[in-house]
C-alpha cells in the first residue's frame, strides 16, 4: 500500500492556480522530495496532504484513506513557518505537543528528555522559548514533530536557518528515522539537499510537475556531459573549445558541460593539454541542481514561445 496517493489535484486561490493537476505516489520507507523554487506550490501541496487545505478537485489518500483529522496522530508535520509558544518552557511545550498527538504525560516527558539529550539540548528544558536562539527554537520544533514517533513525517524546509554542523546533525537524524521505518516527505528548494537525501522526487514549478521519479533514474536519462577539470596554467583552452556551459570556475579549477554532438572528451583533453598541465579530468552526470535549472528554463522557454 502506498503511503500517499495524490491524484489530479488542483488548488486555486481566486484566479491564481497554486497547484495544477498534480499527481504522485509515495512508497513506504522512502524519502520523497517535493522540490522546486520558492512559490512553486510545494507548501500548498503539503497543506492539502495534512488536511489544512482542501483541494478544489482531485483526491489525496494517506495510508489508503481519504485525508481527515483522524490521521493527525500518525503524521508529524514540520511547517516552514515555525509555531512555538514563546513564554512556555521547552519541556512543558514538548509534553503539550506530545499529548495533543495522543501521548500520555509520562511518556511524552520521557521522550522529550531523550530527544533533548540526543540533540545536546538537555540544558534547555527549563528555559522559555523566547530565551532561545532561532536555531535552538528550530530544534525544539523538530522534536515536537517527531516526539510521537509518526509513521509519516512531513518536513517543509527543515534545514532553514541551521548552521552547517547542525544541518548535518539533522540530516543524520532524518536518515535514522527512515531506517527505523518512517516514511518521509522532504520539501526543499535546495537541490543539493534533495540529491543527498531523497530516493524519489517530484519537481514542481508554478504549480505544475515538470519532472518526477527516482533520482537515480532521472540522472541516468542525462548524458555524462559534465567535466570537472583541475589544471595549472592559463585557461585559454576555454576559448579554443567554444560552446561550453561554465558551471563553476576558479583560478585552477573549472566545471563545465558540453554538447556531445559537437565535442568529444578526446578533443577536449587534447586541447586542454596544449595550454595547461592537467591534474584532474573527471566526467560525471549533471547534478540535480543542473537538471533542475535545465528543466525549469526549458519550461519557461516553452511558455514564452
Q: Are residues 113 and 174 in the same domain?
A: yes
Parallel/antiparallel/unpaired status of strands 183-188 and 152-156: parallel
Task: Please give the chain's pLDDT, 305 residues, in tens.
Answer: 899 999 999 999 999 999 999 999 999 989 999 998 888 899 999 999 999 999 999 999 999 999 888 888 889 999 987 788 888 999 999 999 999 999 999 999 999 999 999 998 889 999 998 998 888 889 999 999 999 999 999 999 998 878 899 999 999 999 999 999 999 999 988 888 899 999 999 999 999 999 999 998 888 877 677 889 999 988 878 888 877 888 888 888 998 888 877 778 888 888 888 888 999 998 887 888 888 888 888 777 666 55
Could you give the CA distance from residue 266 to residue 30 in angstroms, rounded to a whole number? Answer: 40
Report the CATH number at residue 228. 3.30.70
The b-or-e profile of 276-298 (16+ CB within 10 A means b, else e) is beeeeeeeebbbbebbbeeebee
pLDDT of residue 67: 86
In this structure, is residue 230 part of a structural domain?
yes
Q: Are residues 151 and 274 in the same domain?
A: no
**Phi and psi of 234, rounded to 5°?**
-70, 160
**What's the pLDDT at 49?**
94
Do the Cβ atoms of 23 and 9 come closer than 8 Å?
A: yes
Cα 139 from Cα 170, distance rounded (Å):
9
Same domain? For 154 and 23 the reply is yes
Q: What residues have CB less than 8 Å from 87, skipping those under 6 apart?
A: 128, 129, 130
Instruction: Let me know: does 156 contact 145? Beta carbons within 8 Å.
Output: no
The closest alpha carbon to 281, from 258, 302, 304, belongs to 258
Do 270 and 182 have their domain in common? no
Quote the CA–CA distance of 305 and 301 in Å, as a whole number.
6
pLDDT given at position 56? 96
Number of domains making up the chain: 2
Last residue within a domain, chosen from 193, 219, 245? 219
In this structure, the answer to whether residues 268 and 142 fall within a common structural domain is: no
Cell matching residue 209? 510537475
Distance CA 225, CA 207 (A): 30
Residue 300, in any domain of the structure: no
Give the domain CATH number at 102: 3.40.50.300
Can you give the residue range of the structural domain that contains 101?
A: 4-219
Smallest CA-to-CA distance from 65 within 152, 5, 154, 153 is with 5
Amino acid at each position: 500500500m502506498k503511503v500517499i496517493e495524490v491524484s489530479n489535484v488542483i488548488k486555486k486561490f481566486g484566479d491564481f492556480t497554486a497547484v495544477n493537476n498534480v499527481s504522485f505516489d509515495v512508497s513506504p520507507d522512502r524519502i520523497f522530495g517535493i522540490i522546486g523554487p520558492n512559490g512553486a506550490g510545494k507548501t500548498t501541496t503539503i497543506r492539502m496532504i495534512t488536511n489544512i487545505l482542501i483541494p478544489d478537485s482531485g483526491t489525496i489518500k494517506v495510508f489508503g484513506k481519504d485525508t481527515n483529522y483522524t490521521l493527525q496522530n500518525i503524521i508529524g508535520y514540520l511547517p516552514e513557518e515555525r509555531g512555538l509558544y514563546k513564554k512556555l518552557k521547552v519541556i512543558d511545550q514538548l509534553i503539550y505537543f506530545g499529548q495533543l498527538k495522543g501521548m500520555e504525560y509520562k511518556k511524552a516527558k520521557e521522550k522529550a528528555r531523550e530527544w533533548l539529550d540526543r540533540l545536546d539540548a538537555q540544558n534547555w528544558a527549563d528555559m522559555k522559548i523566547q530565551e532561545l536562539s532561532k536555531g535552538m527554537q528550530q530544534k525544539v520544533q523538530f522534536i515536537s514533530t517527531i516526539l510521537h514517533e509518526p509513521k509519516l513525517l512531513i518536513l517543509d524546509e527543515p534545514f532553514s536557518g541551521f548552521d552547517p554542523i547542525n544541518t548535518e546533525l539533522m540530516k543524520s537524524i532524518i536518515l535514522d528515522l527512515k531506517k527505523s521505518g518512517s516514511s518521509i516527505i522532504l520539501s526543499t528548494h535546495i537541490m543539493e539537499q534533495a540529491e543527498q537525501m531523497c530516493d524519489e522526487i517530484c519537481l514542481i514549478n508554478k504549480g505544475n510537475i515538470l519532472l518526477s521519479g527516482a533520482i537515480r533514474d532521472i540522472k541516468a536519462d542525462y548524458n555524462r556531459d559534465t567535466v570537472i577539470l583541475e589544471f595549472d596554467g592559463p585557461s585559454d583552452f576555454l576559448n579554443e573549445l567554444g560552446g561550453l556551459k561554465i558551471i563553476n570556475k576558479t583560478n585552477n579549477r573549472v566545471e563545465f558541460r558540453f554538447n556531445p554532438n559537437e565535442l568529444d572528451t578526446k578533443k577536449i583533453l587534447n586541447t586542454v593539454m596544449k595550454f595547461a598541465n592537467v591534474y584532474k579530468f573527471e566526467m560525471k552526470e549533471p547534478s540535480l541542481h543542473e537538471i533542475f535549472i535545465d528543466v525549469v528554463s526549458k519550461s519557461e522557454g516553452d511558455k514564452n514561445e
